[in-house]
C-alpha cells in the first residue's frame, strides 16, 4: 500500500514539471508531444485525486477503529474532506491548463 501511495505522489510530482516544460524535451522526446503531454497531465491529475481520497478515507477509517465508534463518523467526514480536496486539485489543475 505504501508503494502505491509513493507511486501516486511521484506521478503527481512529475506531472506539473512536464506540464510547465515549454520545450517539452525534459522527460519526453516523442514525435507526438501534445498527446503525450496531455496524457501525462490527466494521468497525474487522476493519481492526485486517487491519493487524496485514499489518504483521507484511510485516516477516517483508522480514527474510527482507534475510537471504536459504532457509526463510522470519522470515515464519513474524512471522505467528504477527501472529495473536497480532490475537487480543489482538479480545479487547480484545469486552471493551469488554460494558462499554458
pTM above 0.85, yes or no: no
Q: Which domain holds residue 94?
A: 2-99
Cα 39 to Cα 4, 19, 22, 80, distances in angstroms: 20, 11, 16, 28
Number of domains in the chain: 1
Cα 1 to Cα 27, 31, 43, 48, 54, distances in angstroms: 26, 35, 19, 15, 10
Would you tell me the crossing angle of helices 33-67 and 73-99 to the nearest 10 degrees? 160
Classified as helix, coil or strand, 52 is helix
Residue 8 and residue 47 in contact, taking contact as beta carbons nearer than 8 Å: yes
Q: 22 vs 63, which has greater pLDDT?
A: 63
pLDDT of res. 41: 85
Q: Is the pLDDT of residue 95 over 70?
A: yes
Q: 24-47, pLDDT tens digit by residue?
A: 555 555 556 677 888 888 899 999
Q: 51-88, pLDDT tens digit by residue?
A: 999 999 999 999 999 999 999 999 999 999 999 999 99
pLDDT of res. 55: 96
Amino acid at each position: 500500500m505504501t508503494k502505491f501511495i509513493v507511486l501516486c505522489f511521484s506521478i503527481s510530482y512529475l506531472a506539473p514539471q512536464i506540464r510547465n516544460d515549454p520545450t517539452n524535451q525534459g522527460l519526453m522526446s516523442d514525435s507526438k508531444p501534445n498527446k503525450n503531454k496531455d496524457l501525462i497531465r490527466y494521468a497525474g491529475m487522476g493519481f492526485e485525486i486517487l491519493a487524496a481520497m485514499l489518504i483521507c478515507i484511510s485516516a477516517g477509517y483508522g480514527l474510527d477503529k482507534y475510537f471504536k465508534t459504532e457509526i463510522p463518523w470519522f470515515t464519513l467526514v474524512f471522505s467528504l474532506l477527501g472529495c473536497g480536496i480532490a475537487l480543489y486539485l482538479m480545479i487547480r489543475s484545469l486552471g493551469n491548463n488554460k494558462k499554458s
